[in-house]
Amino acid sequence: MDKKSLGGSGISIVPFVFGGNVFGWTIDERTSFQLLDAFVDHGLDCIDTADVYSRWAPGNKGGESETIIGRWLKNTGKRNSVVIATKVGSSMSPNDSRKNLTKAYIIKAAEDSLRRLQVDHIDLYQSHYDDLQTPVQETLEAYAQLIKEGKVRAIGASNFGAERLLESLNVSKELSLPSYVTLQPEYNLYDREGYEKELEPVCEENNLGVITYYSLASGFLSGKYRSEADFNKSKRGQGIKKYLNGRGIRILNALDEVAKNYSTTPATVALAWVIARPSVTAPIASATSVSQLQELARAVSLNLPPEVIDQLTEASAY
């Protein structure tokens, strides 16, 4: 499979990233192992997680996703077959919304993630959310130490606004500190405006790899939510209501048409549209069954012609 570069990191990946938020939340460890095996068997190679995943599940404390991935890596010996991306900066307490990108916090959190993942280095370590209380320089100095110690290969940002992202990139240049090489923004056929207007120009100008999250709009673009009666189909169902409007229905209709023409599914088409965006390295998508993973993975080889890309882009105009 053709690979894309994660910005200037020197790391290349197949343009499909498995979202590890489901491990220990909507699927148990056994199912997680099956999915990870199938993921690698399909020639895919990048897994995205975070230290706080899946703290929101009853009885969990955070770190469950990393722990499951770590056990799978140890059991299978497939560390060299995958790129591991994880995140830092969110509180491990489900009742604490504070963000923390202080040097001391990052250094300690990195050690905890390395232990849970059972690896000696993290390929891509990402600031999960911006911490407006901590100077950018302090955060980057923490990453500089981790990179120098060989515990992190490259760093990225997630959920940053354009202004703070630019500030971070400029501080890296001015002080010769490690620079963010990737950005993880929300982006999909429905949620386009924020990324395209503000973040995309910054990413293109600075050669950042872009890994999109909510690439299927919390499952809405799969087409399984057509009315409020469908909200109980998953644990994310209640977050779908905002998409059920005229524009959302237009998008679903366009996805249905393209999916029918290519004998595939709306979800596969929606991911293929994201992959086709020149500024995007890869979308993140989660699966809870091997059959669902196989469906989504087809997006990598679904090369939609320009006129079909335009059709979908026009249907989702904002």
Place of tokens 């087409």: 223
> Could you check whether the bond before residue 91 is cis, i.e. omega within 30 degrees of 0?
no
Closest CA to 316 of 195, 225, 200, 192: 192
186, 158 contact by CB (below 8 A): no
- What pairs with residue 212 in β-bridges? 283
CA distance 229 to 239: 13
Distance of CA 143 to the CA centre of its chain: 20
Closest CA to 287 of 56, 42, 39: 39
CA distance 61 to 74: 22
CA distance 268 to 20: 19
Closest CA to 302 of 256, 278, 271, 257: 271
The token pair at 292 is 């669902």
Residue 124 main-chain phi, psi, to 5 deg: -135, 115
The token pair at 145 is 């130490």
Strands 12-13 and 4-5: antiparallel
Q: Which is catalytic among the residues 53, 143, 180, 225?
A: 53
Annotated catalytic residue 105:
no
Say what the alpha-carbon torsion angle 12, 211, 35, 276 is, to the nearest 10 degrees.
-80
Active site residues per annotation: 53
